[in-house]
Amino acid sequence: MYEAAILGASGYVGGELLRLLLGHPEIRVKKAYSRRYADKPVHYVHPHLRGFYRGLRFERFDSEVSPDADIVFNALPHGEGIHITARLVEQGIRIVDLSADFRLKDPEKYKVWYGFEHPYPDLLEKFVYGLPELNSEELRGARLIASPGCNATASILAAAPLIKEAIIDLQTIIIDVKVGSSEAGRTPYEGSHHPEREGTIRPYQAWGHRHLEEFLQEARKLTSRGLRASMIPHAVSSIRGALASVHSWLTRDLDELDLWKVYARFYRGRPFIRIVYSSTQKLPDTKNVVGSNYADVSFAKENYTGRVSGFTALDNLVKGAAGQAIQALNISLGLREEAGLEVPPLKPA
Amino acid sequence: MYEAAILGASGYVGGELLRLLLGHPEIRVKKAYSRRYADKPVHYVHPHLRGFYRGLRFERFDSEVSPDADIVFNALPHGEGIHITARLVEQGIRIVDLSADFRLKDPEKYKVWYGFEHPYPDLLEKFVYGLPELNSEELRGARLIASPGCNATASILAAAPLIKEAIIDLQTIIIDVKVGSSEAGRTPYEGSHHPEREGTIRPYQAWGHRHLEEFLQEARKLTSRGLRASMIPHAVSSIRGALASVHSWLTRDLDELDLWKVYARFYRGRPFIRIVYSSTQKLPDTKNVVGSNYADVSFAKENYTGRVSGFTALDNLVKGAAGQAIQALNISLGLREEAGLEVPPLKPA
Amino acid sequence: MYEAAILGASGYVGGELLRLLLGHPEIRVKKAYSRRYADKPVHYVHPHLRGFYRGLRFERFDSEVSPDADIVFNALPHGEGIHITARLVEQGIRIVDLSADFRLKDPEKYKVWYGFEHPYPDLLEKFVYGLPELNSEELRGARLIASPGCNATASILAAAPLIKEAIIDLQTIIIDVKVGSSEAGRTPYEGSHHPEREGTIRPYQAWGHRHLEEFLQEARKLTSRGLRASMIPHAVSSIRGALASVHSWLTRDLDELDLWKVYARFYRGRPFIRIVYSSTQKLPDTKNVVGSNYADVSFAKENYTGRVSGFTALDNLVKGAAGQAIQALNISLGLREEAGLEVPPLKPA
Amino acid sequence: MYEAAILGASGYVGGELLRLLLGHPEIRVKKAYSRRYADKPVHYVHPHLRGFYRGLRFERFDSEVSPDADIVFNALPHGEGIHITARLVEQGIRIVDLSADFRLKDPEKYKVWYGFEHPYPDLLEKFVYGLPELNSEELRGARLIASPGCNATASILAAAPLIKEAIIDLQTIIIDVKVGSSEAGRTPYEGSHHPEREGTIRPYQAWGHRHLEEFLQEARKLTSRGLRASMIPHAVSSIRGALASVHSWLTRDLDELDLWKVYARFYRGRPFIRIVYSSTQKLPDTKNVVGSNYADVSFAKENYTGRVSGFTALDNLVKGAAGQAIQALNISLGLREEAGLEVPPLKPA
């Protein structure tokens, strides 16, 4: 049994790690760190988990000390845990970093998208971008995992088969993402105030969203051709759920069955991808994946113009965060990829 | 391994039985019956379960034939399965009836509350009212279980300790219930049309709600004194969740710690009751139990007047339906009460 | 044309005063005060009002100076404007105070319910409690109006006819209120964070809610008998809307038509009360009053027990705040009671 | 005072016509037609309008008879009123048709998008496409108005300035629309069942949406160059609101101020367009226009790629239906364009 510590355990992603690891056969949570809630029991901020984790209290992470665990999950906001992570790397601890701190390989991109000079550029190449559907080979045996962003995950999964087989115009890729309110985390702010958020439909960060760079980094591995893509996220009033709609134009005359084959080939054997295009359903719905690690993927072609869209619906806190982190970790540890993640979605919810 | 059949498997409660039994160590679903969706795969109406139950298709229940299962769950609407159930009783099949058809012991009450002459009055006494927190002794070995209504469950759990210890005015019990939209089932109707339901706060059936009779039936077992209680349900715009607020007036001078003891005594050892009154929380919230079989119970006393309220928050589809049915069945089969039900709540959702 | 100034104009109630007064034939907003947003245009915090109030910017209220207006609306949080209001009283300015600062007549009650010694006890009797349906006579010519709380308004309107005619047990009045998220105002906090609020059903302040004292103060004017009532509010996930369900037990044998007459007598000629009990509808729904000053009132009797309930559905920001303030002001100024308030409800919304 | 009749007055668009015309200085509703609700009072299906329209009852439209009104609004579903409309045209009655029946000029397109042979192809050219921001000249004096679809309106308003000035790649226009649940009307169906709709994010009609043809028809008037555009709508869980995000790639090196000028030039003097790009706000939000006829328009440019997006947020039942119909009618009648439509948006709601 591996023992895990969670940094930032009081946030929503931390809460999902706690929830999912309850059902993991090989990993148990030993330490839950939170500066703000130090000494409070875990159910103080996660009242749904009352009765689970009896006796576990949040602790303040003492930077001088090793977390005394086999695995550390970093669920802190971007930048907050970067120095801790670097020290843990030195200590040789296995790390799954759910922040953006080590996702990008090119340190220059941190200036462009995050506005800071990355303090550990040499570490960037040591982290594996933990998207199992693309990088499972690299993940085997990996000790440092940078877990992808939720919008990036949804976008890449929707587009990867189309890009790999080069059947779309790679110069005009529009990624239009719609996300629920839990994506912004637990801290209240004006945009998440219920009267302001419920019922909204609004674009945000329409001048450039950071997850685009993750998309581009991974997409470039799939093709040798030039790529131009842009991402525009929108806030809607779901709590959980992200839907990525990736639009471009077919460069070959393919029908829907051909497209189905493109996706089926790409995701063959991937346990958490459900290609939902079928006789009973055509398009994904975020409501079908709530609480689970499944990504429901599909596509649609408009015959009038040749526009094709790839779609992914996922739960931003699970396949977009905590679940995917466990999935990647499972692979890296040589466990079954599905371990602890076979919980079915909850619907209606 | 017990084999189960589900009548009405295409509804929301049927879907939750399918979901929860996936994780049950001793029971597996063999047959899913649905007249309307006969021959369709289970994921046709439960797309969240795509990939689970591969090969299972809805079947039309043939009334001439035994369901070829050890256990039958009846998740049909009230009245629709009553003759089937009676025949299954004759066949000696173990039954968990989630409809109201066999909940009430007194056949006269069916005239009053359901408007029909009960066709099998002799069977009523043979069914155990499957509320484990009150009737676990009767459930042991029971082969016929009538699973309680969701509003009844929430109301009884909130009030039972107060009634048992006779510390409230038993003549002025007001049960004010608030419920989400999934309670009315999967069939669309005007009141559940999204533009009409989302954002609503409205009373319904304020002239008398059927679940009151269940409340009274069970409450009368707890006290020899006369009881007068009334139930008023309200529709709100949650999807899952029912909150029962049971109000009356203290007849003794008790403080909050005394009240806590009243609840703690009553629910000692009950695995799915969480008395949430504590240093970190005082009152329950339906959001803390979504997807789970937990009932979060608490209470509040107003010092100015001596009014006391008992509260229960539960998931109407789980502790209010499918989960409680499995819980009662577990007891009846001599299994661990928690078997298949240890899934933690999902939050935020 | 009267000129009005609004203190706390950046809040939700301030926004509704701005919206409604746009359509008022005799009152126009001259000044919008907000400390936090001083110098910003009004549409900075009220972007829905972009294009209206061109040129109007929030100003910092300078306590040394008169607001140079005929009427001052105080929409500040409780306590924040109390000294300003007292000074404005000295200056002889007409005031509509939407905070709780001058609602209660008995200064002792401020200690009990608000935890402070009221600094201006002599002023309390000078303010008229601005509930037009009960106090229209006192409002005529009044220069100082304390506008009621939203939960108090809903509760009093539901119960007043029953109390006035003494047809219920006055010793066992349970007021169970359900409210939307806008009631708590514009400032984000944990309970209003969208992932925490959307879908919730939870009681709060179940140990005693301040609006109970307003209810009691006004109810005592309607009867010479003793009254025992208790109020328990619940948070649900609507944005706008409050529903008060006031429950007690009939002391006389009345049928529904009798009850209708009780309400019809009480509210005869009141332009904003809609008694919705009719051949087409029986019970109120908050969705039918959104954006408007209407209070939809009805009742229900349970024949089994004689329990009777009065219900009010209203928009907490309009009839529960800004609209009612204008309605009371209209009466005090001798204008048509409906002036500026004839905007029909918005549905579905 | 013009007298109006409404066909399909019991639907959501019919309800909004009733609401808005209450405030119109020159038009009053004389007749409300509904087959299903014939003889019921208007507030039977529009309970929010109780107390308004006293005495008005729905009538069955008798096809043999003239509606005895100056103006007929057709708010029936597509196709249902097409023969009635044709007859009314013969009778010389002024018509505002809110269905799609006469929006397209080319009868061939009805086969492609609506699957039927248009029975009155000669009438198509006689109707003016009632989008005042593009066609105000044609609307002056027009007696036959085909009021645009909501998604078409939002899309055209977002894209028109970019197309007119030919500053984007006209061959790669992606129109990604997100809409609330009221768009599908009052009739309950599975996709609008509250447990299925609330919280959803899902694409629909991704193979081709009918409103695309309206977009193309109007866009082609703005440019002589070839156009390739595709529309993909998504259902989200708002009640009111549609947001169109129109994406393409800049063909010239323009900065944000240049873009602002492009929009400002195009919409100069248009009373219901609010270009929200400013120092205080950049992007539109459907919540800022609820209940009103305003369309909030803005744009964003991503510097990394040159992708530019135009955005429109509007209320699908007002600027997307009933409000726009009245706006176009006002112009056709020579009235003030804003008559009856100056109601400010409602927020939060």
pLDDT in tens, A103-138: 999 999 999 999 999 999 999 999 999 999 999 999
> What residues are paired with A274 via a beta bridge?
A296
Write down the pLDDT at residue B64.
62
Sequence-ordered list of residues with C-beta below 8 angstroms from that of B36, at least 6 positions apart, any chain: B10
**H-run or E-run covering B32:** strand B27-33
What are the Cα distances from residue B203, in Å, to B176, B187, C226, C301, D161?
Answer: 10, 20, 28, 12, 49
| pLDDT > 90 fraction of chain C, expressed in percent and rounded | 96
With contact defined as beta carbons under 8 Å apart, do A14 and A42 qualify?
no
Neighbours of A268 (CB within 10 A): 9
A306 φ/ψ sector (left φ>0, alpha ψ -120 to 50, else beta): left
pLDDT grade for B279, boundaries at 50, 70 and 90: confident
C-alpha closest to that of D19 among C342, C175, C206: C342
With contact defined as beta carbons under 8 Å apart, do D322 and D7 qualify?
no
With contact defined as beta carbons under 8 Å apart, do A222 and A138 qualify?
no
C-alpha to C-alpha distance for B344 and B149, rounded to whole angstroms: 22
pLDDT in tens, B217-267: 999 999 999 999 999 999 999 999 999 999 999 999 999 999 999 999 999
User: How is residue B90 written in tokens?
Assistant: 């004759």
Beta strand pairing status for C307-314 and C295-301?
Answer: antiparallel
Mean pLDDT confidence for A156-166: 98
Confidence check: pLDDT of D288 > 70: yes
Write down the pLDDT at residue D65.
62
Looking at the annotation, which residues of B are catalytic? Answer: 150
pLDDT in tens, C249-270: 999 999 999 999 999 999 999 9
Altogether, the residues listed in chain C come to a count of: 349
C-alpha to C-alpha distance for B72 and B145, rounded to whole angstroms: 10
C-alpha to C-alpha distance for D285 and A202, rounded to whole angstroms: 5
How far apart are the CA of D239 and the nearest CA of chain C, in angstroms? 6
Burial environment of residue D137 by CB neighbours within 10 A (0 to 12, 13 to 18, 19 or more):
exposed
B21 → chain A, closest CA residue: A344
Confidence check: pLDDT of C89 > 90: yes
Neighbours of D256 (CB within 10 A): 15
pLDDT grade for A278, boundaries at 50, 70 and 90: confident
The answer to whether C36 is annotated as binding is yes
* φ, ψ for residue C304, nearest 5 deg: -65, -35
Altogether, the residues listed in chain A come to a count of: 349
C-alpha to C-alpha distance for B8 and B15, rounded to whole angstroms: 9
Q: How high does pLDDT run on average in chain A?
A: 96
C242 → chain B, closest CA residue: B201
Q: How high does pLDDT run on average in chain B?
A: 96
How far apart are the CA of D40 and the nearest CA of chain C, in angstroms? 9
Angle at alpha carbon of residue D91, lines to D87 and D93, rounded to 5°? 100
C-alpha to C-alpha distance for A279 and A257, rounded to whole angstroms: 12
With b for 16 or more beta-carbon neighbours within 10 A and e for fewer, the B234-266 pattern comes to: bbbbbbbbbbbbbbbbbeeebeeeebbebbeeb
Indicate which residue of A100, A150, A243, A314 is catalytic: A150
DSSP C164-204: HTT-B-TT-EEEEEEE-GGGG-SS--GGGBHHHHTT--EE-
For residue D345, cis peptide bond before it (omega within 30 degrees of 0):
no
Helix axes D211-219, D150-164, angle to 10 degrees: 30
With contact defined as beta carbons under 8 Å apart, do A194 and D234 qualify?
no
A43 interaction partners in chain B (CB closer than 8 Å): 280-281
> Which letter does DSSP use for residue B112 in this model?
I
pLDDT grade for B118, boundaries at 50, 70 and 90: very high
Instruction: Select from B188, B195, B239 the Cβ nearest to the Cβ of D190.
Output: B188
Candidates D201, D249, D255, D303: best to mutate against A (most CBs of A within 10 A) is D201
Instruction: Select from A181, A193, A198 the Cβ nearest to the Cβ of C188.
Output: A193
Is there a catalytic annotation at residue A150? yes
Q: Cβ D12–B195 below 8 Å, yes or no?
A: yes
Indicate which residue of C5, C104, C150, C317 is catalytic: C150
pLDDT in tens, C147-179: 999 999 999 999 999 999 999 999 999 999 999
C-alpha to C-alpha distance for A176 and A160, rounded to whole angstroms: 15
Write down the pLDDT at residue B65.
62
C-alpha to C-alpha distance for A191 and A220, rounded to whole angstroms: 34
Mean pLDDT confidence for C177-188: 97
pLDDT grade for D68, boundaries at 50, 70 and 90: confident
Write down the pLDDT at residue A260.
98
The answer to whether C330 is annotated as binding is no
Q: Are domains D2-126 and D151-315 of this chain identical in fold?
A: no
> What residues are paired with A209 via a beta bridge?
none
* φ, ψ for residue C198, nearest 5 deg: -65, 125
User: Which chains pack against C, by 3+ Cβ pairs within 8 A?
Assistant: A, B, D
Angle at alpha carbon of residue B231, lines to B229 and B236, rounded to 5°? 155
Dihedral over alpha carbons B152, B154, B157, B159 (to 10 degrees): -80
Mean pLDDT confidence for B85-112: 96
> Which letter does DSSP use for residue A168 in this model?
B
Confidence check: pLDDT of B308 > 80: yes
Domain residues of chain A, as ranges? 2-126, 151-315
Write down the pLDDT at residue D63.
65
Confidence check: pLDDT of D321 > 90: yes
DSSP three-state, residue D202: strand
C-alpha closest to that of A128 among A107, A106, A144: A144
Domain at A151-315, CATH class? alpha beta
Q: CA quadruple B166, B168, B169, B173: dihedral positive or negative?
A: negative
* Superfamily of the domain at B150-315: Dihydrodipicolinate Reductase; domain 2 (3.30.360.10)
Q: Cβ A49–B19 below 8 Å, yes or no?
A: no
The gap between the terminal CA atoms of chain B, to the nearest Å, is 33
With contact defined as beta carbons under 8 Å apart, do A289 and B48 qualify?
yes
Mean pLDDT confidence for D310-315: 98
Chain C residues contacting A, CB < 8 Å? 12, 181-182, 186-190, 192-195, 197-199, 237, 239
DSSP D310-332: EEEEE-TTIIIIIHHHHHHHHHH
Place of tokens 């879907």: B15
Q: How many CB pairs under 8 A join A and B?
A: 98
Q: How high does pLDDT run on average in chain C?
A: 96
C295 → chain D, closest CA residue: D48
C-alpha to C-alpha distance for C344 and D29, rounded to whole angstroms: 15
pLDDT grade for C333, boundaries at 50, 70 and 90: very high
DSSP C287-323: GGSTTSS-EEEEEEE-TTT-EEEEEEEE-TTIIIIIH
Confidence check: pLDDT of B139 > 70: yes
Confidence check: pLDDT of D185 > 80: yes
Instruction: Select from A44, A240, A281 the Cβ nearest to the Cβ of B280.
Output: A44
For A262-271, C70-79, C272-281, which range has the lowest pLDDT when averaged over its residues?
A: C272-281
Q: Cβ B194–D181 below 8 Å, yes or no?
A: yes
Confidence check: pLDDT of A299 > 70: yes
A179 → chain D, closest CA residue: D201
Confidence check: pLDDT of B108 > 70: yes
Confidence check: pLDDT of C64 > 70: no
C-alpha to C-alpha distance for A328 and A337, rounded to whole angstroms: 7
C-alpha closest to that of D314 among D1, D2, D11, D16: D16
Write down the pLDDT at residue A63.
65
User: How is residue D195 written in tokens?
Assistant: 């447990």
Confidence check: pLDDT of B63 > 70: no
Confidence check: pLDDT of D67 > 90: no
Mean pLDDT confidence for B62-86: 88
User: How is residue B307 written in tokens?
Assistant: 């009014």
Angle at alpha carbon of residue B162, lines to B159 and B164, rounded to 5°? 100
Instruction: Select from C47, C288, C291 the Cβ nearest to the Cβ of D349.
Output: C291
With contact defined as beta carbons under 8 Å apart, do C278 and D43 qualify?
no
How far apart are the CA of C181 and the nearest CA of chain D, in angstroms? 10
Mean pLDDT confidence for B1-10: 97
With contact defined as beta carbons under 8 Å apart, do A232 and A203 qualify?
yes
Instruction: Select from B186, B190, B194 the Cβ nearest to the Cβ of D197.
Output: B194
User: Which chains pack against A, by 3+ Cβ pairs within 8 A?
Assistant: B, C, D
* Superfamily of the domain at A2-126: NAD(P)-binding Rossmann-like Domain (3.40.50.720)
The answer to whether D103 is annotated as binding is no
| pLDDT > 90 fraction of chain D, expressed in percent and rounded | 96
C-alpha closest to that of A316 among A336, A337, A300, A294: A294
C349 interaction partners in chain B (CB closer than 8 Å): 199
With contact defined as beta carbons under 8 Å apart, do C145 and C97 qualify?
yes
**H-run or E-run covering A295:** strand A295-301
Residue B48 amino acid letter = H
A229 interaction partners in chain D (CB closer than 8 Å): 305
Q: Cβ C172–B176 below 8 Å, yes or no?
A: no
Q: Cβ A198–C193 below 8 Å, yes or no?
A: no
With b for 16 or more beta-carbon neighbours within 10 A and e for fewer, the B89-103 pattern comes to: beeebbbbbbbbbbb
C-alpha to C-alpha distance for C87 and C126, rounded to whole angstroms: 14
The answer to whether B14 is annotated as binding is no
C-alpha to C-alpha distance for A311 and A324, rounded to whole angstroms: 18
How far apart are the CA of D231 and the nearest CA of chain C, in angstroms? 26
Confidence check: pLDDT of C51 > 90: yes
A22 → chain B, closest CA residue: B344
> What residues are paired with B3 via a beta bridge?
B28
How far apart are the CA of C183 and the nearest CA of chain A, in angstroms? 9
Write down the pLDDT at residue B67.
76
Confidence check: pLDDT of C185 > 90: yes
* φ, ψ for residue B12, nearest 5 deg: -65, -40
